[in-house]
Amino acid sequence: MKRDLISTATGLLALTLLLGILFPLAITGVSQIAFPGNANGQQIVRGGQLVGSKIIGQSFQQPVVRNGKVQLDKNGNPVTVPDTRYFQTRPSGTVPADNAAGSSFANYGPNSVVTEQALAANVKSYLALERPYDPRLTVAVLPVDAIDTSASGIDPDISPANATIQAHRIAAVRHLSLARVHTLINAATHGRGLDFSGESGVNVLELNLALDRLSGGR
């Protein structure tokens, strides 16, 4: 018994030092030297200002301003509408949307009326945004990633199908040819891991930054 108490107490302290302090610090230290970009979250800086992380999805909506004041919702977060000049990310379950300091699932059940209503609302707003630029668009041809909430709430990707639909709007609003927009989409598209694991996706932040570069900063 006494022997156990001594071994436990000293063992826990020694292992905390080894596994809880030395191990994480060593991994962090080596990573900072060997992979500084990755280890710090692949930060993207534009004009001296941090725009975001390459692999974290963000909202490309804009705050609603009325009488010179940004409108706030009941949680104190800005009320937003999609910025038509940019590709939009997937629906997010976090508060506010795309919150990368408080990730959470939406937890919509498979057989729930609540889910059906939320999806129907997403369909409605997606069609309201995209249909003016592509009148043939109906709910039946929408890719699921455009409507279903992501897991993390900060999914950086959309499917190529989703990007192809949004391309009509981007081309019209920015006065670009559809082919030009498609070239940009292809440049921002990554394939599957090892060519088979997971799905290909279009990185929305990269794509939107490329669009801005094309039109000279803004």
Interface of this chain with another protein, residues 50 to 79, rule: CB under 8 A: 50-53, 55-63, 78
State which residue, 132 or 198, has the beta carbon closest to another protein: 198
Contact between 43 and another protein by CB under 8 A: the answer reads yes
Rounded least distance, CB 28 to another protein, Å:
5
Six token digits for residue 54: 């390459």
Contacting another protein (CB under 8 A), which of 71, 186, 192, 214?
192
In the bound state with another protein, the residue whose beta carbon lies nearer, of 131 and 190, is 190
Q: How far is the CB of 30 from another protein (least distance, A)?
A: 7
Alpha-carbon span 204 to 188, nearest angstrom = 8
> Residue 157 belongs to what H/E stretch?
strand 157-158
Q: Coil, strand or helix: which one is 178? A: helix
Site for another protein in 98-117 (CB under 8 A): 98-116
**Strands (E) located in 10-98:** 43-46, 49-53, 61-63, 65-66, 69-70, 80-82
Q: Measured on CA atoms in the order 196, 199, 200, 204, is the torsion positive or negative?
A: negative
Q: Which residues pair with 123 in a beta bridge?
A: none
Query: Which member of 72, 95, 128, 139 binds another protein (CB under 8 A)?
Result: 139
Q: Near another protein by CB under 8 A, which window of 3-11, 129-137, 169-177?
A: 3-11
Q: Which of 92, 130, 156, 168 binds another protein (CB under 8 A)?
A: 156
Q: Which of 87, 92, 130, 152 binds another protein (CB under 8 A)?
A: 152
Instruction: State the distance between the two ends of the chain, measured CA to CA, in whole angstroms.
Output: 71
* 122 CB-near residues (< 8 Å, 6+ apart): 91, 146, 147, 148
Touching another protein, residues 82-101 (CB under 8 A): 83, 86, 90, 93, 98-101
Query: What residues between 168 and 187 interact with another protein by CB under 8 A?
Result: none
